[in-house]
Amino acid sequence: MEDPRPLIEQLPKGKHAICECGQTKNAPFCDGSHQGTGLRPSIVDVDDTGRTIAWCTCRTSGNMPMCDGSHKKLWKNPPPPKPTT
């Protein structure tokens, strides 16, 4: 299981394209990989001198693309340990 915790980032003033398709190689930002999926990035406009944002990486947030704490539910039910050989 990938680490479901949010990515905390300080964003500078300006518009930022946030990936909604899950295909980007530059998370949380759109890199154009959504082409052909029918999905588009969310545009976040930071209108002050900058803002600290918690980006959802678990894709269970009810407030995409921002974290709403839903990842905590994933930690309460971790997958079983891998069997040893």
The contact set with ligand FES (CB under 6 A) reads: 19-21, 23-24, 30-34, 39, 41
Peptide bond into 28 cis (omega under 30): yes
**Collapsing DSSP states into helix, strand and coil, what is residue 59?**
coil
Asked if 58 contacts 70 with a C-beta cutoff of 8 angstroms, the reply is: yes
Name which of 19 and 53 has its Cβ closer to ligand FES. Answer: 19
Residues in the chain: 85
Work out how close the CB of 38 gets to ligand FES at its nearest, in angstroms, rounded to a whole number: 10
Name which of 18 and 67 has its Cβ closer to ligand FES. Answer: 18
- Placement of tokens 């930022």 in the chain: 16
Structure-token pair, residue 8: 């905390």
Name which of 21 and 54 has its Cβ closer to ligand FES. Answer: 21
